[in-house]
Amino acid sequence: MAQKSLFVSYILWLFGGWFGLHLFYLRRDRQAIVWCCTLGGLIFGWIRDLWRIPVYVAEANHAPDFMAGHTAAFAEGGKPRFKMFRFIAQVFMGYLYGSLVKFATPTSLIEEYGSIYAPFACIAIALGAHTVGNIGTEKVLLWKPFLKTLIWYIGYASIYSEEPNYLVTAVTTALTYNGNREFRELPKPDKALCKRLFAFALSIMLYTSLWGSAVYFNMTITTEDGEEVKVKDALKNFFKSPAWIEFKDTVWQLYEEAQRMGWRNVWNAFINALDPKGEKNAMKVLGVSEEATEADIRKIYKKLAVKWHPDRHSDPEKKKEAQERFIEIQQAYEVLTTRKKNSQPRPAKSDL
């Protein structure tokens, strides 16, 4: 197993720490997921890692001093001491996951079937607390605390005929998990990188899909007249709008043109349309066409230069406008005359 570098860990912490890049490097995948979902534990976790990274590196490298201390604690069979930061993180992640499941459920389903999301919210709350509880050298079981959370949820709803507060439920779940903690046996089995990446990507995709569902089904946007429209309705209307239809037709025409002319020719046409040399804009400023000769360009330039010379205007505002136009005309003339000179055929070199 390759040893982890303290220097690399700090570099990854600096440039990708908010998304758990240094944690994934140190095989702390669950913590990396939490950081990715919360932008570095709301920044506080990311800052805390600044002095925690040496411990993480020692754990990842199975340093003798670290392993000796952990092995002794594991052999004693006692429970890990209570850590306030971990407890707060369990509560926060449980509350976040549970609330996200609720917000991601379409309101139409809730109106028709009631709190259909309730069992899934309980799973999410338990999963959030479980994920934090299994970071590092500690572990907790999933199902026993989850069943206790579900029983609490159902019991509260039955007695008070209302849904319990998710924050209270998350605190209850975190307390339940803290009563079922134990030390993890080290060293942990080393998982293949592809499996780790797959699990990490799947977790983030599930998290982002819940946010996407919450935005699409339940979030609203306010129009100019103050009317609130759901995002899903706004998107449906957008895809029927003339602007989208015109854009879609333009893209399709571009694709058909590329099939006919070749992608390289279309790309060249696109670059030319961007006018990288400023020739099209210069022709527009002077009011000449591509067929204009150098003599035509010079003639029109002199006429415009006389018209817009700053000395011909006494009014301050007009003088300022004339000065800007005069500079613009000069620059356009230089662009076009340079193009004409470059386009002229060069005389053949003599062999003598």
Instruction: Return the higher-pLDDT residue of 86 and 79.
Output: 86
Domain of residue 31 covers 1-61
**Cα(212)–Cα(221) distance, rounded to whole angstroms?**
15
What does the pLDDT look like over 122-162, one tens digit per residue? 889 888 988 998 998 888 877 777 787 778 777 877 787 77
Residue 347 has pLDDT above 60, yes or no: no
Q: What is the DSSP string of 162-218?
A: SPPPHHHHHHHHHHHHHTTEEEPPSSPP---HHHHHHHHHHHHHHHHHHHHHHHHHH
In a domain, 145, yes or no: no
In a domain, 206, yes or no: no
* Residue 163 tokens, joined: 């849904």
In a domain, 171, yes or no: no
Shared-domain flag, residues 21 and 53: yes
Q: For the chain, what is the domain count?
A: 3
**Taking the model in full, what pTM does it have?**
0.69
In a domain, 319, yes or no: yes
In a domain, 330, yes or no: yes
Least confident of 57-61, 141-145, 207-211, 312-316: 141-145
The strand pair at 138-140 and 181-183 is best described as antiparallel
Residue pair 122/164 in contact by the 8 Å Cβ criterion: no
Residue 340 has pLDDT above 70, yes or no: no
**Cα(33)–Cα(31) distance, rounded to whole angstroms?**
5
Residue 338 has pLDDT above 80, yes or no: no
Phi, psi for 139 (deg, rounded to 5)? -145, 155
3-state secondary structure of 341: helix
Q: Please state, in angstroms and as integers, the Cα–Cα distance from residue 314 to each residue in 84, 120, 308, 317, 323, following that order.
A: 76, 77, 12, 9, 12
3-state secondary structure of 351: coil
Distance of CA 88 to the CA centre of its chain: 26
Within 13 Å of residue 116, how many CA atoms lie on the same side as its CB?
Answer: 11
**Cα(169)–Cα(153) distance, rounded to whole angstroms?**
7
**Cα(203)–Cα(219) distance, rounded to whole angstroms?**
23
The full 3-state SS of 17-66, as one line of letters, equals HHHCHHHHHCCCHHHHHHHHHHHHHHCHHHHHHHHHHHHHHHHHCCCHHH
Side chain identity, residue 313: H
Q: Which of 34, 61, 88 is the C-terminal boundary of a domain?
A: 61
Maximum mean pLDDT: which of 36-45, 79-88, 217-226: 36-45
In a domain, 350, yes or no: no
Collect all residues with Cβ–Cβ distance below 8 Å to 253 and sequence separation of at least 6.
none
**Which pLDDT band, with edges at 50, 70 and 90, does 296 fall under?**
confident
The length of the chain is 352
**Which pLDDT band, with edges at 50, 70 and 90, does 270 fall under?**
confident
What does the pLDDT look like over 227-255, one tens digit per residue? 788 888 888 888 888 888 888 887 787 78
CATH code of the domain in which 292 resides: 1.10.287.110
Average pLDDT over residues 112-116: 79
pLDDT for position 29:
94
Tell me the longest C-alpha to C-alpha distance in the chain: 109
What does the pLDDT look like over 162-197, one tens digit per residue? 777 888 888 888 888 777 788 888 777 788 889 999
How high is the mean pLDDT of the chain?
84
Residue 107 has pLDDT above 60, yes or no: yes
Shared-domain flag, residues 250 and 288: no
Shared-domain flag, residues 309 and 258: no
Partnered with residue 95 across adjacent β-strands are none
In a domain, 260, yes or no: yes
Residue pair 80/183 in contact by the 8 Å Cβ criterion: yes
Q: Which of 46, 61, 76 is the C-terminal boundary of a domain?
A: 61
Shared-domain flag, residues 296 and 259: no
In a domain, 147, yes or no: no
